[in-house]
Amino acid sequence: MDELKEQEQVKTGDGNYGANNIQALEGLEAVRKRPGMYIGSTDTKGLHHLVWEVVDNSIDEHLAGYCSQIDVIIHKDNSITVKDDGRGIPTGMHKKLQKSALEVVMTVLHAGGKFDKDTYKVSGGLHGVGVSCVNALSSHMKAEVHREGKIFVQEYSEGKPQTTVDVVGESTENGTWITFMPDATIFESVVYNYDILAVRLKELSYLNKGLKLNLTDEREKDENGAFKTEDFYSEGGLREFVEYLDAGKQRLIDQPIHVMGKEDNVEVEVAMHYNTTFKESIFSFVNNINTREGGTHVNGFRRAVNRVFSKYAEDNGMFKKLKFKVSGEDFREGLTAVVSVKVPEPQFKGQTKGCLLYTSPSPRDRG
Ligand code: 0RA
Note the pLDDT of residue 358. 59
- Which whole number is the average pLDDT over 164-193? 98
147, 163 contact by CB (below 8 A): no
Distance CA 164, CA 179 (A): 17
pLDDT at residue 119 is higher than 50: no
Sign of CA dihedral 58, 61, 63, 66: negative
Sign of CA dihedral 38, 44, 49, 50: positive
Distance CA 330, CA 339 (A): 19
The per-residue pLDDT for range 26-62, each reduced to its tens digit, is: 689 999 999 998 899 999 999 999 999 999 999 999 9
Note the pLDDT of residue 362. 43
Atom of ligand 1 nearest to the CA of 147: 20
pLDDT at residue 2 is higher than 70: no
Note the pLDDT of residue 110. 72
Question: Rounded to the nearest whole angstrom, what is the distance from the C-alpha of residue 88 to the centroid of ligand 1?
Answer: 5
> What's domain 29-232's superfamily in CATH?
Histidine kinase-like ATPase, C-terminal domain (3.30.565.10)
Note the pLDDT of residue 153. 98
The per-residue pLDDT for range 54-113, each reduced to its tens digit, is: 999 999 999 989 999 999 999 999 999 999 999 999 999 999 889 999 999 999 987 544
Tell me the longest C-alpha to C-alpha distance in the chain.
81
The per-residue pLDDT for range 190-249, each reduced to its tens digit, is: 999 999 999 999 999 999 999 999 999 999 999 999 999 999 999 999 999 999 999 999
Q: What is the mean pLDDT of the chain?
A: 87
Q: Are strands 69-74 and 212-221 parallel, antiparallel or unpaired?
A: parallel
- Chain centroid, CA 196 distance in Å: 15
- Probe ligand 1: pick from 61, 63, 123, max atoms within 8 Å of CB? 61
Q: What is the pTM of this model?
A: 0.85
Distance CA 193, CA 350 (A): 28
Note the pLDDT of residue 113. 47
57, 133 contact by CB (below 8 A): no
CATH class of segment(s) 238-319+326-365: alpha beta
- Probe ligand 1: pick from 1, 55, 57, 174, max atoms within 8 Å of CB? 57
CB of 61 closer than 6 angstroms to any ligand 1 atom: yes
CB of 57 closer than 6 angstroms to any ligand 1 atom: yes
Note the pLDDT of residue 123. 54
CB of 53 closer than 6 angstroms to any ligand 1 atom: no
Measuring from atom 1 of ligand 1, which residue has the nearest CA? 113
- Chain centroid, CA 135 distance in Å: 17
Nearest Cα to 219, choosing from 202, 199, 194? 194
Nearest Cα to 228, choosing from 181, 180, 193, 189? 193
Nearest Cα to 207, choosing from 246, 265, 260? 260
Tell me the domain boundaries of the chain: 29-232, 238-319+326-365
What share of the chain in percent tops pLDDT 70? 84
